[in-house]
Amino acid sequence: MRSLYGVVVSVLVVSTLLATSWTQTDAGGSQVPAPEKARDFALTDPVAIITPLPDEVSNGTWWYLDAQNSTYSGGTIEQYEWDVLVNGVHQRYYEPLKRYIFKQLGLYKINLTITTNDSKTATTFTAVYSILDSDSDLLPDWWEMYYFGNLSQRGSDDYDNDGYTNLQEVASNMNPTVKDPGKSLLSLMAQYWYYLVAVAAVVAFAIVVTYPSLKKRRKAEVKKKIEAALEIEKALEEEK
């Protein structure tokens, strides 16, 4: 019985403490539910939020560092601080939306810290790895995103059907979404100059090899013409 009595007393004590902690006395002396202090505190803390970035990008790709979804219900956010660490170098920016280019290859560690009007702070973190070509199609990701808005194109594709593949377009700094004019004779010659050189070499070799025999044949033909002319002249002399 004593054991059961002790359990009952303990339950009553705990219930009383809980009721007291979550109630307060109003002006008339009545007990009313108290604000959820711990929960209210959590709700009024600032929250730093980075709009999701891809895990991998190709170097040269532009993206936005976006902290505009960060919140603070207890006041206003007065300062945004970006700290981007890449290859041992810190880059700092102070704006909620920053257009950023991933120039270098490697790991980018991106920290965001927000500061409120009442000096509260919140921090969050993300990371992006910059590589040459995330989808391995030989086209820079930034180039695909800039012209097509996605990474679905392949190097061998010809989006504008102008006879130039995407690889040729990016190598020639052309717009792959605009049909380009056909290649001129000069550009074709410049592109296939090695073929022209090979053909010229073959022609020159053929001339060098065949020229002596051609010269000999021509000399024989001239000799025959002279002999024929002498025969005709001799015949005419005999008729006289």
pLDDT score at 223: 75
Tell me which residue of 69, 63, 70 sits closest to 84, measured CA to CA: 63
For the cut 60, the answer to whether the pLDDT of residue 3 exceeds it is no
Specify the range with the lowest mean pLDDT, choosing from 37-41, 181-185, 236-240: 37-41
Range among 40-54, 70-84, 193-207 rated most confident: 70-84
> For residue 36, what pLDDT is reported?
46
Q: Which two tokens stand for residue 88?
A: 């041992």
Instruction: Please answer whether residues 159 and 168 qualify as being in contact, where contact means their C-beta atoms are separated by less than 8 angstroms.
Output: no
> What pLDDT, on the 0 to 100 scale, is given for residue 216?
76
**Res 71: pLDDT:** 96
Q: How far is CA 51 from CA 12, 66, 85, 150, in A?
A: 49, 5, 18, 18
Please check the confidence at residue 227 and state whether its pLDDT lies above 90: no
- Residue 41's pLDDT band (cuts 50, 70, 90): very low
Average pLDDT (168-189) is 76
Average pLDDT over residues 123-128: 97
Q: Is the pTM of this model over 0.75?
A: no
Across the chain, mean pLDDT equals 78
Task: Decide: 103 and 93 in contact? Cβ < 8 Å.
Answer: no
Model pLDDT, residue 182? 61
> Is the pLDDT reported for residue 202 higher than 70?
yes
**Structural domains of the chain, ranges and CATH numbers in brackets:** 56-131 (2.60.40.10), 133-182 (no CATH)
